[in-house]
Chain A
Amino acid sequence: MTAYLTRRLSRVALVGGAAVAAMMLSACGNGLASGGGEQSSDKGPIVLGMLTPLSGSSSAIGPYMKNGAQLAVDEINGKGGVDGRKLELKVEDEACDAKSATAGANKLVTAGVKISVGGYCSGATLPTLPIFEKADVPMLIPAANSNELVKQHKKNVFLINGTGAQQSDAAFKFMKKVGATKVALMDDNTSYSKDIADTTAKLLTGSPALAGRESVTAGESDYSANVNAILKGQPDFIYWTGYYQEGGLIIRQLRQAGYTGKVMVADGSVDQKLVDIAGSEAAEGVFATMTQTPETIQGADKWIADYKSKFGAAPGPYSTQAYDAVRVAAEAVKQAGSTDGDAVIKALEGIDGLQLFSGPLKFTPDHTLSSGGFQILTVEKGKIVLKDTLQ
């Protein structure tokens, strides 16, 4: 009985081993023949990948980006695609968390994505850079904008949103403009948030001067201790660089603690929920640094109408950047004449004057926009409206 079992088992193992070997051989064959195989796949759709938060703390943003990108894909396909090939968008959930983003990036690479047009949370986007780099996939990052993303000088990484440094510049410009003298900075210890706070702090050397810094832990409800600590420096301007969930609570608690000075938030906090959480009374007059949104772009009426008729809802933050990312990707493939990673990167570096929502596109040697396009919004009667284009 036992001898029989052993025999059977060894036979199973042999057959299994042979099967695995055969599979590996055929896989190698595919790999070797990939030069020829590419020819046939060149006729199929060009797959674009997008990582965006569909769940988690920033899940409100994901659908905006997805829809914006889809709108561009449909428009380009409607005009016959790129070099006769259709575009196809594949979306994975980034959840604003490094683990989900890494898993999503691997999934996209396995699915044969040629260009990545996603990336919202910087902390989640950072670990995906090497994954796409290894697979020779150029990345056009529409939303994430931490300086960390470009600091590594990866050749496949392009930002089509202003960087943290450009955002700090805009913030600093506005602080000077409104005559702030003592500026306090608050961040939530994430890569995106700390980056803006750090670069802003470096600017605050003369007047306005830095009146204190405070980092909070995201996910709590009571920030009165932090608020208390930051008010000790008696600032007349407070800049919060984190996301809207904590931002709303902090604004409310600042006002409850009797702070009457100016408050500004960074682009991660620009969401109507910020006003809801803070309460419209506390949020009134709060400023925000923000890249262009559909509502604040002049001449985007037709685009907004297209978006509304297609998705049955108004476009939100980063829908225009996602839309532009797809257009830039299509343009680069067209100029490169292929979907080969290096050729596309070369084409991207060469693009000059493609009209985007943020202005004509030209990448700096760092692969960031030559003009950041940040502007100042403010809360007026409970709504976030454009205040100053800083032009």
Chain B
Amino acid sequence: MTQLLWNGLFVGSFYALVALGYTMVYGIIRLLNFAHGDLYMLGAFVGFGVLSVAGGLATGLGFVALLIVLIIAMLVTGTAGLLLERVAYRPLRGAPRLSVLITAVGASFALEYGMRLLAGPNPEVYPVRLAGDSVNLLGARITIQQASLILIAILLMAGLQWLVMGTETGRAMRAISQDPTAALYMGINVDAVIARTFFIGSALAGAAGVMAGGYYGKIDFLMGFIIGLKAFTAAVIGGIGNIKGAMLGGLALGLLESIGTAWIGGQWRDVFAFTFLIIFLTLRPTGILGERVTERV
């Protein structure tokens, strides 16, 4: 049982990191960024590229090398997120919601198949792998690598929380999410803040990608698809638009999957996860932490 919980928490922290970007973008401009999962894929491939170029030097350093690669990948995916917003979303900001949704799906395909052209259709294997001895804790096998990855995820999330609640940019983000027009009148540079949001969200997805690459080892150009769906589910379960909700939703989804698999079998894992999405959408569309939005007339 402890093992189940631990597995769930570990997978959940990946979901949470990706879900954060989803939820931030939705919270500010009410856009479901379907290309978000593919930024996770992009992060994994950037990390792979850097490690391949660095070669033997990186292999010797192990975990430290992965940390450096993590930062590079975050910068690259963050910039890619900026570009995506500038090219695909900003020109459509006044357009109907559906047009933007379709652009997002298009951007997702562009990223996936663009990467296939660049890196080929075959799965790649990370040159630096995290594997190590495990410690037995309350009946669960926990590896130091798993624990470090969770720690990194928590640090990144805590940093984000501080950024949103404690800084000028964060205050501007929250203001825009309340009312973009009023924020503009108050002298907030709305475009710049939205761009920053995309940068941060995409960088977090990229970080999750590198972490997954280093831990699981296998990456391929379609790896962002399923995790994108799962992150979306996590964001909805937690309350889409709510940052703490995304973290909570990610962990909750990881635990649900882990326990669900043990309970009714592996082939039902995704059915179980998405059934919860439907249950939440019907019974509590605002998610665990979401607030009830009253329509003002």
Q: Which residues of A contact B (CB under 8 A)?
A: 55-57, 59-60, 189, 214-217, 219-226, 228-229, 232, 245, 248-249, 252, 256-258, 273, 276-277, 279, 281
- In the complex, A248 Cα to B218 Cα: how many Å? 9
B196 adjacent to chain A (CB < 8 Å) = no
Given contacts A216-B266, A228-B3, contact A258 B134 (CB under 8 A): yes
Residues of the B chain whose Cβ atoms lie less than 8 Å from the Cβ of A248: 217-218
Asked if residues B216 and A245 are in contact (CB atoms below 8 Å), the reply is: no
Determine which of A59, A214, A217, A245 lies in contact with B270 in the assembled complex, contact meaning CB atoms within 8 Å: A217
Shortest CB–CB separation between residue A24 and chain B, in angstroms?
39
B226 adjacent to chain A (CB < 8 Å) = yes
Shortest CB–CB separation between residue A115 and chain B, in angstroms?
28
Shortest CB–CB separation between residue A147 and chain B, in angstroms?
20
- In the complex, A56 Cα to B4 Cα: how many Å? 33
Asked if residues A249 and B141 are in contact (CB atoms below 8 Å), the reply is: no
Given contacts A216-B266, A245-B218, contact A257 B261 (CB under 8 A): no
Asked if residues B265 and A256 are in contact (CB atoms below 8 Å), the reply is: no
Asked if residues A228 and B262 are in contact (CB atoms below 8 Å), the reply is: yes
B50 adjacent to chain A (CB < 8 Å) = no
Residues of the B chain whose Cβ atoms lie less than 8 Å from the Cβ of A226: 261, 266, 269
Determine which of B134, B143, B266 lies in contact with A214 in the assembled complex, contact meaning CB atoms within 8 Å: B266
List 3 A-B pairs, minimum CB-CB distance, nearest first.
A225-B261, A215-B267, A226-B266
Shortest CB–CB separation between residue A93 and chain B, in angstroms?
10
Asked if residues B143 and A256 are in contact (CB atoms below 8 Å), the reply is: yes
Asked if residues B125 and A273 are in contact (CB atoms below 8 Å), the reply is: yes
B10 adjacent to chain A (CB < 8 Å) = yes
Which A residue's beta carbon lies closest to that of B14? Answer: A222
Asked if residues B7 and A225 are in contact (CB atoms below 8 Å), the reply is: yes
Residues of the B chain whose Cβ atoms lie less than 8 Å from the Cβ of A277: 123, 125, 217-218
Residues of the B chain whose Cβ atoms lie less than 8 Å from the Cβ of A220: 226
Which A residue's beta carbon lies closest to that of B125? Answer: A276
Asked if residues B218 and A228 are in contact (CB atoms below 8 Å), the reply is: no
- In the complex, A224 Cα to B261 Cα: how many Å? 10
Which B residue's beta carbon lies closest to that of A55? Answer: B121
Interface CB pairs A-B, < 8 A, 16: A215-B267, A216-B269, A217-B269, A217-B270, A219-B222, A228-B3, A228-B258, A229-B265, A245-B123, A245-B220, A256-B131, A256-B143, A276-B217, A277-B123, A277-B125, A279-B217
Within 8 A of A (CB), among B73-129: 116, 121-123, 125, 129
Residues of the A chain whose Cβ atoms lie less than 8 Å from the Cβ of B220: 57, 245
Residues of the B chain whose Cβ atoms lie less than 8 Å from the Cβ of A214: 265-267
- In the complex, A258 Cα to B122 Cα: how many Å? 29
Asked if residues B217 and A252 are in contact (CB atoms below 8 Å), the reply is: yes
- In the complex, A221 Cα to B129 Cα: how many Å? 14
B225 adjacent to chain A (CB < 8 Å) = yes
B257 adjacent to chain A (CB < 8 Å) = yes
Given contacts A229-B265, A273-B122, contact A219 B3 (CB under 8 A): no
Q: Which residues of B contact A (CB under 8 A)?
A: 3-4, 7-8, 10-11, 14, 116, 121-123, 125, 129, 131, 134, 141, 143, 212, 216-218, 220, 222-223, 225-227, 257-258, 261-262, 265-267, 269-270
- In the complex, A216 Cα to B270 Cα: how many Å? 10
Shortest CB–CB separation between residue A276 and chain B, in angstroms?
4
Residues of the B chain whose Cβ atoms lie less than 8 Å from the Cβ of A215: 265-267
- In the complex, A123 Cα to B122 Cα: how many Å? 19
Which B residue's beta carbon lies closest to that of A222? Answer: B11
Determine which of A217, A245, A257, A279 lies in contact with B129 in the assembled complex, contact meaning CB atoms within 8 Å: A279
Determine which of B7, B122, B217 lies in contact with A249 in the assembled complex, contact meaning CB atoms within 8 Å: B217
Given contacts A217-B270, A226-B261, contact A59 B125 (CB under 8 A): no
Given contacts A59-B122, A221-B223, contact A279 B131 (CB under 8 A): yes
Which B residue's beta carbon lies closest to that of A244? Answer: B123
- In the complex, A350 Cα to B145 Cα: how many Å? 61
Sample of 11 further A-B pairs with CB below 8 A, known A229-B262, A249-B217: A59-B122, A216-B266, A217-B269, A219-B222, A220-B226, A221-B227, A222-B216, A228-B3, A249-B218, A277-B123, A279-B129
Given contacts A222-B11, A256-B134, A279-B131, contact A229 B266 (CB under 8 A): yes
Residues of the B chain whose Cβ atoms lie less than 8 Å from the Cβ of A216: 266-267, 269
Asked if residues B7 and A228 are in contact (CB atoms below 8 Å), the reply is: yes
Asked if residues A217 and B267 are in contact (CB atoms below 8 Å), the reply is: yes
- In the complex, A245 Cα to B270 Cα: how many Å? 19
Which B residue's beta carbon lies closest to that of A219? Answer: B226
Shortest CB–CB separation between residue B11 and chain A, in angstroms?
5
Shortest CB–CB separation between residue B292 and chain A, in angstroms?
34
Which B residue's beta carbon lies closest to that of A248? Answer: B218
- In the complex, A277 Cα to B218 Cα: how many Å? 6
Residues of the B chain whose Cβ atoms lie less than 8 Å from the Cβ of A224: 7, 10-11, 258
- In the complex, A225 Cα to B261 Cα: how many Å? 6
Asked if residues A249 and B266 are in contact (CB atoms below 8 Å), the reply is: no
Which A residue's beta carbon lies closest to that of B261? Answer: A225
Determine which of A60, A219, A221 lies in contact with B212 in the assembled complex, contact meaning CB atoms within 8 Å: A221
Asked if residues A273 and B266 are in contact (CB atoms below 8 Å), the reply is: no
- In the complex, A199 Cα to B14 Cα: how many Å? 37
Residues of the B chain whose Cβ atoms lie less than 8 Å from the Cβ of A276: 125, 217
- In the complex, A252 Cα to B262 Cα: how many Å? 19
- In the complex, A132 Cα to B56 Cα: how many Å? 51
Shortest CB–CB separation between residue B154 and chain A, in angstroms?
18
Asked if residues A249 and B11 are in contact (CB atoms below 8 Å), the reply is: no
Residues of the B chain whose Cβ atoms lie less than 8 Å from the Cβ of A245: 123, 218, 220
Residues of the B chain whose Cβ atoms lie less than 8 Å from the Cβ of A221: 212, 216, 218, 223, 227
